[in-house]
């Protein structure tokens, strides 16, 4: 039983790292722009399809495709913020919600039109490879994806802490008016923050594709997980999203084994409800 638990911990942490990358962009966008991006899952779906196309037509390895995905999705997010989000920043929250929901519906329906409802994935030479350590095994694709996810999260945290633009983003997240008085270009910084957030979810799509199928409505499944992680970690805490992602990965692994694979979502959604009731600011969030 001890060996089983250790194996579940390994699998859960590897999966949790991917979930953290998936949710950290959502946390950044909400923490800085104070907008809940309900199209977050659909951005993930678009990234997965783009990774699939790069693999199918150019033979580009899904993980290598990050060199294309990251800049493309940053520019994509930057443009979306300028065209759709910026005009709504001072509008009632309901307008912002409907705008992002509508954007997500456009993405999913265009994907349905282009790719139909077929399930697609990529198969590489190492898709079924495992590293054996005694009685334990580690999936090579999951290990690579986990390493990439942690590296990207660490790079983002370092960027926000050390660069001028990163400090400007953090200042806007803390107090918009004070940041404006200090001469920070609010709208440019908002667009950069939104672009970075979308680049993060784009990267998550690229590293998830070798492990999951992509289809037009796959975004709704992962967006629910992302929202649970953001709430658990704290609305404005990037480090909290990392810890919460690892926790959700562990919960999913243990509940899927000891309860049922079909009921694993129920467990962390029950946790989600309890967090909202007893600690709505999350583990690391501030009031």
Residue 60 lies in a domain: yes
The predicted pLDDT at position 79 comes to 95
**Cα first-last separation, the chain:** 41
Sign of the four-CA dihedral 145, 264, 234, 27: positive
Select from 204, 175, 192 the least CA-distant residue to 20.
204
Q: Which two tokens stand for residue 230?
A: 């953001």
The predicted pLDDT at position 207 comes to 93
DSSP 183: T
- pLDDT higher than 90, residue 200: yes
Residue 227 lies in a domain: yes
Q: Which two tokens stand for residue 201?
A: 């979810």
Residue 286 lies in a domain: no
Mean pLDDT of the 172-196 span: 85
**Which residues are bridge partners to 132 per DSSP?**
137
Q: Write the burial class of residue 58 (CB in 10 Å: 0-12 exposed, 13-18 middle, 19+ buried).
A: exposed
Backbone angles phi, psi at 22, to 5 degrees: -60, -40
User: For residue range 123-171, what is the model confidence (pLDDT) as tens digits?
Assistant: 888 888 888 887 888 889 899 999 999 999 999 999 999 999 999 998 8
The predicted pLDDT at position 201 comes to 95
Complete DSSP assignment for 108-122: HHHHHHHHTT--B--
The predicted pLDDT at position 285 comes to 64
User: For residue range 77-134, what is the model confidence (pLDDT) as tens digits?
Assistant: 999 999 999 898 888 888 888 999 999 999 999 999 999 888 998 988 888 888 888 7
The predicted pLDDT at position 131 comes to 86
Q: CA distances (Å), 77 to each of 158, 219, 249, 285, in order? A: 21, 17, 27, 25
The predicted pLDDT at position 259 comes to 81
The predicted pLDDT at position 280 comes to 77
Element (H, E) at 268: helix 264-278
User: For residue range 100-116, what is the model confidence (pLDDT) as tens digits?
Assistant: 999 999 999 999 999 98
Question: Rounded CA gap, 69 and 50, in Å?
Answer: 8
Mean pLDDT of the 172-193 span: 84
Question: Rounded CA gap, 61 and 129, in Å?
Answer: 15
DSSP 83: I
Residue 284 lies in a domain: no
The predicted pLDDT at position 156 comes to 93
Residue 286: which pLDDT band, with cuts at 50, 70 and 90? Answer: low
Q: How many domains does the chain have?
A: 1
Residue 231 lies in a domain: yes
Q: CA distances (Å), 185 to each of 11, 40, 182, in order? A: 43, 25, 9
Residue 283 lies in a domain: no
Residue 253 lies in a domain: yes
User: For residue range 29-77, what is the model confidence (pLDDT) as tens digits?
Assistant: 988 888 889 999 999 999 999 999 999 999 899 999 999 999 999 999 9
The predicted pLDDT at position 55 comes to 95
The SS3 assignment for 60 reads: coil
- pLDDT higher than 80, residue 265: no
Q: Which two tokens stand for residue 29?
A: 């966008």
Residue 171 lies in a domain: yes
58 lies in which domain range?
2-278
- pLDDT higher than 70, residue 287: no
The predicted pLDDT at position 204 comes to 94
In our burial notation (b when 16+ CB lie closer than 10 A, e otherwise), range 230-253 reads: bbbbbbbbbbbbbbbbbbbbbbbb
Question: Rounded CA gap, 192 and 213, in Å?
Answer: 30
CATH number at 265 reads 1.10.3470
């Amino acid at each position: 039983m001890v060996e089983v638990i250790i194996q579940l911990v390994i699998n859960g942490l590897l999966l949790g790292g991917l979930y953290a990358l998936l949710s950290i962009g959502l946390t950044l966008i909400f923490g800085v722009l104070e907008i809940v991006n309900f199209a977050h899952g659909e951005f993930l779906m678009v990234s997965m399809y783009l990774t699939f196309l790069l693999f199918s037509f150019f033979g580009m390895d899904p993980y290598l495709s990050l060199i294309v995905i990251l800049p493309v999705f940053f520019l994509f997010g930057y443009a979306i913020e300028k065209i759709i989000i910026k005009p709504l920043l001072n509008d009632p929250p309901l307008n912002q919600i409907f705008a992002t929901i509508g954007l997500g519906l456009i993405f999913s329906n265009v994907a349905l039109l282009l790719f139909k409802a077929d399930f697609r994935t990529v198969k590489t030479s190492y898709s079924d490879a495992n590293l054996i350590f005694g009685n334990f095994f580690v999936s090579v694709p999951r290990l690579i994806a986990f390493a990439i996810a942690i590296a990207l999260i660490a790079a983002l945290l370092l960027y926000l802490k050390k660069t001028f633009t990163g400090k400007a983003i953090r200042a806007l997240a803390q107090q918009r008016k004070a940041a404006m008085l200090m001469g920070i270009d609010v709208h440019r910084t908002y667009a950069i923050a939104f672009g970075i957030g979308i680049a993060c979810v784009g990267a998550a799509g690229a590293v998830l594709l070798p492990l999951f199928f992509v289809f037009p409505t796959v975004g709704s499944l992962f967006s629910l997980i992302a929202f649970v992680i953001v709430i658990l970690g704290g609305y404005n805490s990037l480090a909290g999203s990392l810890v919460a992602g690892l926790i959700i990965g562990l919960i999913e692994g243990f509940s899927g084994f000891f309860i049922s694979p079909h009921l694993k979502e129920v467990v962390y959604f029950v946790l989600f409800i309890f967090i909202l009731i007893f600690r709505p600011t999350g583990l690391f969030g501030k009031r």
